[in-house]
Structure 1
Amino acid sequence: MKMRPRSRLFAPLFVALTASAWIALWAWDAGPYARYLHRASWTELPGVGAICRAVPGASLPLAASLHSVAWLLMIAAMMLPTAFPLFDTFRRMTSAREERRTLIALLIVGYAMAWTLFGLIAHAFDEALHRLADQSPTLLANGWLIGAAIVALAGLYQFSSLKHRCLDKCRSPLMFITGHWRGLSARRESFLLGMSHGAFCVGCCWALMLLMFAVGTGSVGWMLALGAIMAAEKNFSWGRSIGKPLGIALIAWSAWIVVQHVSMA
């Protein structure tokens, strides 16, 4: 399969798309509707509460829709840059095809779909934890235990073999494409290629993404920090070397949270 030269427009357009996502997140977080990015009672949000009260059963679909929009915007800002080598390599390999724009679009949609499914699972898990805490006075009074556990889990996962197997897939876009795409049913294969790569990306980064729920899903600063870490792990030659130090730092942070709260008890 012949590789074409790099496009002078694809990278700038991709950077512009990513920058637009970050600007949108920043504007959203700084505006009057910032609570849409954070956990809140949906019936208290401006506009949404009135609809929920007027239309029976509207609360759940509206909550799901707003969660989905916020999550997809976060994924566009944080994760698309980490997968740029895959998108660029695939674009160059399919540049001779008439439907090349459709194929790259399907690749990106498939990638986003994998992260959307993870987002639904993560939000369901987060909701279950909050309901459990609401029903347990002890857990409600010691909610820091959940945060410390999530931080420790993220740290320990940095040392797992599954993390490194998934990271290897993410760091080798050309090998991944040649192993998953034949071009016989181009559109279907492009979408499934994006889904497959997104699944390995989730396998590599899910524990770090859970930190979003521990520190607040609406923190743009945390999103920037986590996005930079994940991009470095995947796209730079020295990225693999930050895994263990990051894991040690997260475990130490978790221990510090425990010590701090125990000493205050």
Structure 2
Amino acid sequence: MKTSKRISYSISITILAVSAVFWIILLFNPGGIMTVKHCHMTLQGASKASLQMMLKMNPVSDLMMGWTLMVLAMMLPKLIAPVQYIYGRSFKNRRFWSALLFIFGYTAVWIVVGFFMNALIVGLNLVMPNSFIPAIGVGIIAAIWQFSPVKQRCLNRGHDHIPLAAFGPEANRDAVMFGMMHGIWCVGAGWALMLFPMLLPAGHNLAMIVVTFIMISEHMEHPRFPRWHFSFRLKLLHIIIARTRTNLKTALNLN
């Protein structure tokens, strides 16, 4: 039991540390990969020439690199429980490899979605450069989606943990498929929240932090019956407050 708790703790610390590294990269924003640079061809408006200039200033490779970094920074903490599940049901010599395959499958889903998301982001920035209107529109959609029964179904399915084969190619396949299915339901639950910060002409770092907090918190909630449910799913905030109170009481009692 102690060994199991130690492994779970090590997994949590490792994943959070890796996520923190990606967050540092995002916040420093090397090469401006997290911001869409605009071409100032205002006389032509949303023309083919403007699109070509924007794509030259914002190569697809840079956009996808920024998107992948954002996914890894924001989503890795959500994968702690599934990775712990893999470690608990895999042989010792397969645990790390199976966990990597799971993360690969999960990230691959978000990368595919990111291609279409970035196309939408570029298109909206071409039509309405430096405008908050697209972000406001997506924010409204995200707020409606947040309380919808469809999102709740996706959150519920995100708690599914499939059986994993123990040996050979089947074990590799199951790990990848587990990651892909987890990614699909995660996309279903959080696509609008992920898109919102990317459309902001300013303040996207703060928005990413807030969105990350919301998505981790809602993932910690127990499954519910899918229906319109106006709940802000702030379990993570409640945990932080409870632990802070406990630590303060302990500190005061020691004094």
Residue in structure 2 matched with residue 52 of structure 1 by the alignment: none
> 1:156-206 deviations in whole A, cap 9, x for unaligned?
112322100010122x2xx4223xx34461112211110110010000101
> 1:9-62 deviations in whole A, cap 9, x for unaligned?
22221121111111222222xx6x3x32101048xxxxxxxxxxxxxxxx6697
Q: What code does the residue aligned with 1:118 have?
A: V
Candidates 151, 155, 162, aligned match of 2:150: 162
Residue in structure 2 matched with residue 254 of structure 1 by the alignment: none
- Tell whether 2:148 aligns with 1:153: no
Residue in structure 2 matched with residue 27 of structure 1 by the alignment: 28
1:183/1:125 CA distance change after superposition, 3 Å: farther
Residue in structure 1 matched with residue 4 of structure 2 by the alignment: 5
Aligned-pair CA distance for 1:67: 1.2
> 1:220-263 deviations in whole A, cap 9, x for unaligned?
211111001100000145999xx72549xxxxxxxxxxxxxxxx
Aligned-pair CA distance for 1:113: 0.7
What TM-score results when the alignment is normalised by the length of structure 1?
0.69
- For the Cα contact (< 8 Å) 1:37–1:70, is it kept in 2? yes
Aligned-pair RMSD on alpha carbons? 3.2
Within-5 A mapping of 1:92-241:
92-94=88-90, 96-133=91-128, 143-170=131-158, 172=159, 175-178=160-163, 181-183=164-166, 185-216=170-201, 219-236=204-221
1:39/1:92 CA distance change after superposition, 3 Å: same
What SS class does the counterpart of residue 115 from structure 1 fall into?
helix
Listed as ranges, the gaps of 5+ residues in structure 1 are: 43-58, 135-139, 248-265
Separation in structure 1 between the aligned mates of residue 4 and residue 157 of structure 2, nearest angstrom: 23
Q: Point out which structure has higher relative CO (alpha carbons under 8 A, 6+ apart).
A: 1
- For the Cα contact (< 8 Å) 1:126–1:213, is it kept in 2? yes
- For the Cα contact (< 8 Å) 1:37–1:218, is it kept in 2? no
Listed as ranges, the gaps of 5+ residues in structure 2 are: 40-54, 234-255
Separation in structure 2 between the aligned mates of residue 12 and residue 146 of structure 1, nearest angstrom: 37
Separation in structure 1 between the aligned mates of residue 19 and residue 95 of structure 2, nearest angstrom: 21
> 1:59-91 deviations in whole A, cap 9, x for unaligned?
669712111221111111111112211111112
Residue in structure 1 matched with residue 251 of structure 2 by the alignment: none
